[in-house]
Amino acid sequence: MTESPFTDLERRGLALAGVDTAAPDAVVSGLVGVPGAAAASGPRHLARSAIDGGPLARIQLASGDDAARAAAAATAAFAAWRSVPAPVRGRLVQRIAERARDEADAIAALITLEVGKIPAEARGEVQEWLDVCDLAVGLSRQLHGLTIASERPDHRMMEQWHPLGPVACITAFNFPCAVWAWNAMIALVAGDAVVWKPSEKAPLTALACHGIAVAAMRDVGAPDGLLALVVGDADAGRALAKDRRFPLVSATGSVAMGRAVGATVAQRLGRTLLELGGNNALIVQPSADLELAAKAIVFAAVGTCGQRCTSLRRLLVHEDVAAELVARLRRAYGTLPIGDPRAPGILVGPLIDEPAANAMAHALAAARAQGGEVLAGGGRLTAGLPPGAYVAPALVRVAADAPVVMEETFAPILYVSTFRELDDAIAANNAVPQGLSSAIFTNDLREAERFLSATGSDCGIANVNIGTSGAEIGGAFGGEKDTGGGRESGSDAWKQYMRRVTNTVNYGRELPLAQGIRFDAD
């Protein structure tokens, strides 16, 4: 009897995705949650593991026509769901969390198997799903409007927030569970239906998470079609963006993808919630705790093999402490445990695929051509490793305004530059097209407040004495400029999934007009 190549948890995760490991030639449909719809009608796709490139499942991708079927089902489900009281809608999300908690370890194992995250990060991503469920359940009793003073006697003004409609959610491979959860769990309590198009590079995690959510829907009697999954290629994504039945399209990915989605949705005057590229910087002042800074820098730069939108890309170090800090970083980079993420003690797994490794090599060559010096790492690693895209995270000294620094490379490259004045460092922080996350390390209150002020960092996230990554779900997540301007998860991000209505109620016997206008014969 041949031994299974998968662990028990991996097999459980694959089973949640509908994959029968005993039948490797079976095909999984990429269209799920659409009542009455046949299997997906697009081309076949072979899902592979980032760890070794090995095949995981055969998937029949969804087509543009399949995306339209999902839109129709979501529209019908929304017509019923919007009338359900918000606290009752919260019970669905609560049930999703209960089911997800029971399968959390299996989902985490599947994330590691599929995209190569180390288990701690994969389990942390599943925890984000659980945490945002808690947030959403609380919000289901807190979707507040306002009472507004009226200038007219015997009149009352107020705001209400009503469900918006079906939401299209397009996500990237690097957070195959959490980003959907940020959107879908909040949208559900807001009264919306959700159609999810995940990345083709991480379809199995999507299938597993979606399956858990659909099972919870059945538990509470939610309408069919409320959550639908469209595992398709770019044609399916374009179909969702063009479809007028989606008043909101939430898209996470590259700036190029976001521009295309934004332009398509804008043509039909729909809304977009865009979470795009990040080219994040961290400033280190002379007063900083360098030990604390070094730890934060390494995690932010190499965590998830540099494949977070909040990964640290640019390090701006005051020239008085640059030599000491760079020496600390070179030592740390020289001892990073890199390899199969399932192996004990590994901190850095693989890049998602060969094109990602090629992009890293191209960026390093460009940095050298522009006067940069590779201080540590940067090469491909193969000895004793599975046949995946394993690389040594790179530390590169280069000018802060070098052209290569202006671009985001989705890989573990940290560009290091020096400065003399804080204003120059803030200007360099703000000089790139992207505006997602930023940080400063300082023990000077004035420097910290300067960085956080209106004339400081221009990013959507600005941190003091922590790194650029690792955002909590309680705060709104997103950025400015080429990052797209969207906000997801906490704070008042829920408002994007609802529509605002201003009401004026006249409870008197007269009809006074606003602005003191009189319109009568006298």
Catalytic residues: 275, 309
CB neighbour list of residue 410: distance below 8 Å, 6 or more residues apart? 174, 306, 307, 356, 359
- Alpha-carbon gap, residue 395 to 301, rounded angstroms: 9
* Tokens 């994007």 belong to residue: 496
Cα separation, 461 vs 469, whole angstroms: 9
Say whether 465 sits in a helix, a strand or coil.
Answer: coil
SS3 at position 417: strand
Question: Would strands 437-441 and 280-284 be described as parallel, antiparallel, or unpaired?
Answer: parallel
Give the Cα separation of 324 and 293 in Å (integer). 12
**99 contacts 216 by C-beta, under 8 angstroms:** yes
DSSP, res 464: E
∠346-181-113 over CA atoms, to 5°?
30
Q: Which residue has the tokens 């009503």?
A: 162
Q: From CA 15, how far away is CA 113, in angstroms rounded?
A: 13
Long-range contacts formed by 458-464: CB under 8 A, 24+ apart: 458/429, 458/430, 459/280, 459/429, 459/435, 459/483, 460/435, 460/436, 460/487, 461/310, 461/436, 461/437, 462/437, 462/438, 463/437, 463/438, 463/439, 464/439, 464/440
What would the two tokens of residue 369 be?
């051509």
Give the span between the Cα atoms of 434 and 487, in whole angstroms.
15
Strand partners, 338: 348
DSSP run (H or E) holding 437: strand 437-441
In this structure, what token pair is assigned to residue 63?
């087509």
Cα of 163 vs its chain's centroid, Å: 23
Rounded distance between C-alpha atoms, residue 295 and residue 299, angstroms: 6
Cα–Cα distance measured from residue 441 to residue 517, given in angstroms and rounded to the nearest whole number: 57
R_g of the chain computed on alpha carbons:
25
What angle do helix axes 119-139 and 178-190 make, rounded to 10 degrees?
A: 10
CA distance 285 to 206: 42
Answer yes or no: are the C-beta atoms of 246 and 195 closer than 8 Å: yes
